[in-house]
Amino acid sequence: MSVLGSAAKVHDESRQGEAFQQPVMGPKPFNRRFYIESYGCAMNFADSEVVASILNQQGYGATTVVEEADLILVNTCSIREKAEATIRKRLTEFRRNKEKRPATLIGILGCMAERLKSKLLEEEKLVDIVVGPDAYRSLPSLVEEAGAGQKGVNVLLSRDETYADISPIRLNSNGITAFVSIMRGCNNMCSFCVVPFTRGRERSRDAHSIIAEIEELYRQGYKEITLLGQNVDSYYWLDEQLDQTVNFAQLLEKAAQVSPELRIRFSTSHPKDITDDVLFTMAKYENICKCIHLPVQSGSTRVLQLMNRTYTREWYIAKLNRIREIMPDCSVTSDLIAGFCTETEEDHQQTLSLMEIGKYDLSYMYFYSERPGTLAAKRYTDDIPEEVKKRRLAEIVELQGRLSTESNRKDIGQTFKVLIEGDSKKSDQDWVGRNSQNKSIVFPKAGHDLKKGDYAWVRVNDYTRATLLGTAVQM
Ligand code: SAM
Ligand code: SF4
Ligand code: F3S
C-alpha cells in the first residue's frame, strides 16, 4: 500500500456507479497518514481535494486503509436526513477503530460540521475535530490542538474564502477527468434547501486562478474539466486590476479556449440564471459538452412558488425550448423532489407531465426531507405522509426509467465522439467513455490502437439501462 498517493472513498450522489480508481501522484515524503471519505455532491468531493492538498503540506499522505490512518476525516452532507443518518453510522464505526488505536483522531468536515457545529464533538463525543467548509485552512492547527487533548472546532463561514491559491490534490483520479470549483456558497434560498446555511454566501473565485488550474490540468494530461458551483450561471468576478468583470459565459469561453482537445462541462445551472449568452457560447465551441443539468424540482407552479424557485412551469418550459432551439443535440438532466409540503395529486401529475415535456435523459430523484432551519421547515408543515411521498417518487422514478430508455433508443445507429476514461467495469477487453451528452458508452478494445484519454468515434448498436453499447469506427 503506497502512502505517496492521495486516495479516498467517494459517496457522491451525482457520480453513483463510477469506479474507484487509484490516485495519480508524484513522490513526497510523508510521515503521517490520513484517510478521507466524501459524501454528498461534487463540491464536497472537490473540497476533499483541497483538504488533501492542505494536509500534504503538513506531512500527511493519504491512505485507503482506515486502520493505518493517524487522522480519519469524513466530508459530510446534510442535504437529506438519510445522508446524515448514514454518516452518523459510519462515524460510530470509526469510533470503534479508535478504541483499538486511541491516538487516531477523527474529524468531520463539510455541511454536517456546519449544521451541527460542536454537537457531535461535545454531546455525542463521536469526533475530535469539526471543520466547516470555509475553515479548511485551519485544519492543521485544529489537528494539533485535538492531538493535545483540546477541542478542534472551526465552523466560521466566510464571505470571501474560495481556496483560489490552493492546488487541489486529485483524489481517486482516473487522470482524465477533473473537477474545478469556480464558486462557493449559494444565495438562492430555495425553501427546502440547507445549502445556503451550511455553505454560506455565494462568492466567485478569481478567474485567473481558475484558468491557471485548468491549464495545469491539461498539461498533466487531463482531457475533461467540470466547472463546479451550486449555481454556476451566477458566476461573477471583478478583475480589479483590469477593472473588468467576468460572467459565466465569459469564463466558459476562456476555459474552452485552453485547448480544443480539452472538454469543458459545468454543473449546476439554476433555470432562472442560465442566459442565452451561455447557450450561444456552448454552441460556439465543440469542446463545451452539450449537456445541461437544469433541475426543475417540481412541475407545478404553485409548488415552485412555495419552493422559492422563482420560475414558473411555463417559464421553465420556455427555457427548455430555447436550449433545444440553440442546441438541438443538447441533453438535459434534472433533479426532482416528490412530496414537498402541500403537494396535491394534481401537482404531482404536473411534475410527471413536465418530465414528459422535458424528455430528461437522466434525473436525480428524491422525496422531500425536511431540514431544520430551512425556510420550509419554518413556514410550512411537512404534511405529505411518507408512504404517499414514496409512491409518488416511485412513479417519478418509473417514468424517468422510460424516458432514459427512449433517449438511449434514439441513439442507436448514431456515431458519437467518446473520450475514453478507462476499462469498462465489467471487462478489461472493453473501453468505457462518455459522449458530449454525458452518456456512458462501452465498446470493445479489439481492432483499434486506442488508449485511455484518446477520443474515439463510436457507433451505438445497443444499450442497457444506464449505458450505450457500440463499436469504434474510423471517421
Ligand atoms: N444547487 C443545485 C440546484 O439548485 O439544483 C443543487 C442543489 S442540491 C445539492 C441537489 C438536489 O438535492 C437539489 O436539486 C434537490 O433536488 C435535492 N434536495 C435539496 N434539498 C432537499 C430536501 N430537503 N429534500 C429532498 N431533496 C432535496
Ligand atoms: Fe439549494 Fe437552491 Fe442553492 Fe441549489 S440553488 S443549492 S437547491 S438553495
Ligand atoms: Fe450535501 Fe453540502 Fe453538497 S449538503 S449536497 S455536501 S453542498
Could you tell me if 247 and 282 lie in one domain? yes
Could you tell me if 394 and 274 lie in one domain? yes
Residue 398 scores a pLDDT above 60 = yes
Q: Residue 111 in contact with residue 40, Cβ under 8 Å?
A: yes
Please report the atom of ligand 3 found closest to the CA of residue 79.
4
What are the cell numbers at 59? 506531512
Ligand nearest to the CA of 199: 3
**pLDDT single digits (tens) 146-205:** 999 998 999 999 999 999 999 999 998 999 999 999 999 999 999 999 999 999 999 999
Could you tell me if 182 and 298 lie in one domain? yes
Nearest to 179 by CA among 44, 332, 16, 18: 44
Name the least confident of 66-70, 251-255, 359-363.
Answer: 66-70
Question: By residue range, what is the domain housing residue 465?
Answer: 415-473
pLDDT reported for residue 455:
98
- Could you tell me the CA-to-CA distances from 63 to 11, 258, 360 in Å, in that order? 17, 33, 39
H/E run at residue 130: strand 129-131
Asked if the structure places residue 171 within a domain, the reply is no
Confidence label for 100 from pLDDT (cuts 50, 70 and 90): confident
Task: Confirm or reject: Cβ of 44 under 6 Å from ligand 1.
Answer: no
Could you tell me if 129 and 260 lie in one domain? no
Could you tell me if 191 and 118 lie in one domain? no
Task: Confirm or reject: Cβ of 192 under 6 Å from ligand 1.
Answer: yes
What is the rounded average pLDDT of the residues 233-238?
A: 97
Could you tell me if 25 and 126 lie in one domain? yes
pLDDT reported for residue 475:
79
Residue 30 scores a pLDDT above 90 = no
pLDDT reported for residue 20:
28
Asked if the structure places residue 168 within a domain, the reply is no
Nearest to 107 by CA among 76, 86, 83, 137: 76
Collapse the DSSP code of 379 into the 3-class scheme (helix H, G, I; strand E, B; otherwise coil) and give the result: helix
Collapse the DSSP code of 360 into the 3-class scheme (helix H, G, I; strand E, B; otherwise coil) and give the result: coil
**Between 124 and 330, where is the model more confident?**
330
**28, HSE (Cβ side, Cα atoms, 13 Å):** 19
Could you tell me if 182 and 308 lie in one domain? yes
pLDDT reported for residue 99:
85
What is the rounded average pLDDT of the residues 412-423?
A: 98
Alpha-carbon Rg for the chain in angstroms = 22
**In angstroms, rounded to a whole number, what is the distance separating the alpha carbons of residues 280 and 277?**
5
Q: Residue 77 in contact with residue 115, Cβ under 8 Å?
A: no
Confidence label for 28 from pLDDT (cuts 50, 70 and 90): low
**pLDDT single digits (tens) 359-375:** 999 999 999 999 999 99
Residue 89 scores a pLDDT above 90 = yes
- Could you tell me the CA-to-CA distances from 279 to 141, 183, 252, 323, 328 in Å, in that order? 45, 20, 10, 7, 11
Ligand nearest to the CA of 80: 1
What is the rounded average pLDDT of the residues 203-215?
A: 97
Residue 354 scores a pLDDT above 60 = yes
Could you tell me if 315 and 196 lie in one domain? yes
Residue 13 scores a pLDDT above 70 = no
What is the rounded average pLDDT of the residues 57-83?
A: 94
H/E run at residue 473: strand 467-473
The alpha carbon of 304 and the centre of ligand 1 are apart by a number of angstroms equal to 13
Could you tell me if 399 and 453 lie in one domain? no
Asked if the structure places residue 12 within a domain, the reply is yes
- In DSSP terms, 363 is beta-bridged to 334
Asked if the structure places residue 371 within a domain, the reply is yes
Task: Confirm or reject: Cβ of 193 under 6 Å from ligand 2.
Answer: yes
pLDDT reported for residue 23:
39
Ligand nearest to the CA of 78: 3
What is the rounded average pLDDT of the residues 336-356?
A: 98
Task: Confirm or reject: Cβ of 111 under 6 Å from ligand 2.
Answer: no
Asked if the structure places residue 2 within a domain, the reply is no
Residue 123 scores a pLDDT above 80 = no
Q: Residue 11 in contact with residue 44, Cβ under 8 Å?
A: no
Contacts of residue 211, Cβ cutoff 8 Å, sequence gap at least 6: 254, 255, 258
What is the rounded average pLDDT of the residues 405-420?
A: 98
Asked if the structure places residue 172 within a domain, the reply is no
**pLDDT single digits (tens) 268-304:** 999 999 999 999 999 999 999 999 999 999 999 999 9
For atom 4 of ligand 2, which residue has the closest CA?
230
Contacts of residue 378, Cβ cutoff 8 Å, sequence gap at least 6: none
Contacts of residue 317, Cβ cutoff 8 Å, sequence gap at least 6: 354, 357
Q: Residue 164 in contact with residue 208, Cβ under 8 Å?
A: no
What are the cell numbers at 186? 449559494
The alpha carbon of 199 and the centre of ligand 2 are apart by a number of angstroms equal to 10
pLDDT reported for residue 15:
36
Task: Confirm or reject: Cβ of 309 under 6 Å from ligand 2.
Answer: no
Could you tell me if 199 and 53 lie in one domain? no
> What average pLDDT does the chain have?
92
Q: Where are the alpha helices (DSSP H) in 225-274?
A: 248-256
Residue 240 scores a pLDDT above 80 = yes
How many domains does one find in the chain? 3
- Could you tell me the CA-to-CA distances from 307 to 41, 258, 311, 336, 343 in Å, in that order? 20, 38, 10, 12, 11
pLDDT reported for residue 474:
87
Could you tell me if 449 and 364 lie in one domain? no
CATH of the domain at 230: 3.80.30.20
Nearest to 212 by CA among 245, 176, 175, 254: 254
The alpha carbon of 109 and the centre of ligand 3 are apart by a number of angstroms equal to 11
Contacts of residue 463, Cβ cutoff 8 Å, sequence gap at least 6: 405, 408, 409, 411, 412, 469
Confidence label for 10 from pLDDT (cuts 50, 70 and 90): very low
Name the least confident of 1-10, 206-215, 216-225, 441-450.
Answer: 1-10
Overall pTM > 0.85? yes
Domain end point (choices 119, 154, 189):
154
Asked if the structure places residue 162 within a domain, the reply is no
Asked if the structure places residue 163 within a domain, the reply is no
**Between 296 and 68, where is the model more confident?**
296
Residue 213 scores a pLDDT above 60 = yes
Could you tell me if 392 and 335 lie in one domain? yes
Residue 329 scores a pLDDT above 90 = yes
pLDDT reported for residue 432:
98
Give the torsion sign (CA, 249, 250, 251, 256). Answer: positive
Contacts of residue 219, Cβ cutoff 8 Å, sequence gap at least 6: none
